[in-house]
Structure 1
Amino acid sequence: MALQLIKLLVTASTTTDVVPSPQKFFHVTASQTAAGSTLTIDAASFFQDDGTVVSTLPSLASNNSYFNVYINGVLQQQENSTYTPGATGVGSLAFAVPAGGDPILQNTPVVLEIVNYAPTSTTNIST
């Protein structure tokens, strides 16, 4: 019998389920925020979809999440926002209103959208 290369035959397939967990938080400004100022909204000043007050803003999953800020229904640039997760007095959203622009008027809706992902993967190996 001649020499042969003996090798393993292995096949593998991986299925990954992307599982987003979106949350939305709402706020209506109580006063005008001038251009060049910062609008800071405490966790307890937000309310949820069902109208209940927020007690804690959720953490962002490391490398697997994002947040968006909408002011008066318009998506805002990320660099103007600072998000801090946590309970009342700690958790907040700070939005720096660009100098030279328009102010944020009283009674303007602000929506904070947070999306965390919890992906799961399954690998099947056949030999």
Structure 2
Amino acid sequence: MTLQDAFKQMSDVLPTLWFDRVKITGVKEVQHGSITDTEPVTIVDGEPAKISRKSLKPSDQKDFGTDEYDVVMYIRTGIDIPAGCKVYVTDVNGHTVEYKQSGKAYTGYISHQEVALIRNEKAKEES
């Protein structure tokens, strides 16, 4: 067995360890007569993923009243995730957070891909 074979086997196991579920949406171009327009499209829904972030310190917040931080999403290979997608992550406790993607997914790994995401929304108190 080669090292690449081991990583391919790992790509089958990793999603069973990821408890977050994601919905990724984007847009696609469509023709309406002579006019090109875009319409929303769901890329995946209910897909297992893992969200990881560095520690969030109050001193890192530049503006009070915002909830902004960077995370990395680990997700299986084989999903085309273009730059600019919106990602909705539901964690194991049922809380959903919306992220905007900062760039195209890094697909250089055999076992998974990494996607840099930014959470940038007004902070609100949950009841």
Which structure has the greater CA radius of gyration? 1
User: TM-score w.r.t. structure 1 length?
Assistant: 0.29
Greater length-normalized contact order (CA 8 Å, ≥ 6 residues apart): 1
Structure with the higher helix share, 1 or 2: 2
TM-score, L = length of structure 2: 0.29
